Chains A and B, each alone.
Chain A
Amino acid sequence: NAGVMQNPRHLVRRRGQEARLRCSPMKGHSHVYWYRQLPEEGLKFMVYLQKENIIDESGMPKERFSAEFPKEGPSILRIQQVVRGDSAAYFCASSPTGGSSNQPQHFGDGTRLSIL
């Protein structure tokens, strides 16, 4: 399967713990996007990264959330000290070129984060 790979598919954490969500983009894609989907809503942009660079983090909460896309390995979305409101589906998408408006973003299956 050469698609966008996200893991884990489901993640359960207790309030105050840390959550780490991983995303491996499609082969040949160097641009990664993270989105959050709350129940009954559309996806909301969080952050856009290229290898070793954050391009746009305007949708990321200022505290507790961080993202990286290292030279080697998957992109990581990290949520520290999780709260109940962080419960959502988190989707990763990738594209081969970031700046072209006609490039579809291909999505992973998402990580469903549940906070107890």
Chain B
Amino acid sequence: AQKITQTQPGMFVQEKEAVTLDCTYDTSDPSYGLFWYKQPSSGEMIFLIYQGSYDQQNATEGRYSLNFQKARKSANLVISASQLGDSAMYFCAMREGEGSTLGRLYFGRGTQLTVWP
């Protein structure tokens, strides 16, 4: 089974609007971390936001927030007030907290976000 599922290959949003990028995950570990990365067309991977499995509150970092619904195993990224520079590929990733595979990140296939003026 896929560890991370991103069901939206592409999303479009108008500048200054908010957008939600979906991510569901699959793990049996009680301790895990969820991450979002941005990959612009230049190719680098930029860390955006982190949510821990034991965190009581949703993570926020500036215009980025994570809608964490543990029972549904979803960790959707919300970008508020979209900017043209937000156009990029966005990856959801998970790191499990126990076991021999400690350390590795599991990535989804990504969502290509396009912000239009």
With A and B bound together, what is the CA distance between A107 and B43 in angstroms? 11
Tell me if B107 and A44 are in contact (CB < 8 A): yes
B59 to chain A, nearest CB (A): 11
Q: Which residues of A contact B95 (CB under 8 A)?
A: 101
Q: Which residue of A lies closest to B55 (CB)?
A: A102
A55 near B109: Cβ-Cβ < 8 Å: no
Would you list which residues of chain B between 72 and 117 have a CB under 8 Å from chain A? 91, 93, 95-97, 100-110
Residue contact A107 to B44, C-beta cutoff 8 Å: yes
Smallest Cβ distance from A13 to chain B, in angstroms? 19
- Docked-complex contact A101 and B43, CB < 8 angstroms: no
Given A107-B47, A109-B44, A102:B106 Cβ within 8 A: no
Cβ-closest 9 pairs across A and B: A42-B107, A101-B97, A107-B45, A101-B33, A45-B104, A48-B103, A109-B44, A43-B107, A104-B47
Residues of B within 8 A of A43 (CB): 45, 91, 93, 105, 107
Interface residues on A, range: 20 to 34
Complex Cα spacing A1 to B43, Å: 18
How far in angstroms is the closest Cβ of chain A from B37? 7
**Are B33 and A42 in contact, with the CB atoms below 8 A?**
no
Contacts of A89 in B (CB 8 A): 43
For residue A56, CB closer than 8 A to chain B, the reply is: yes
A24 to B117, CA, bound (A): 39
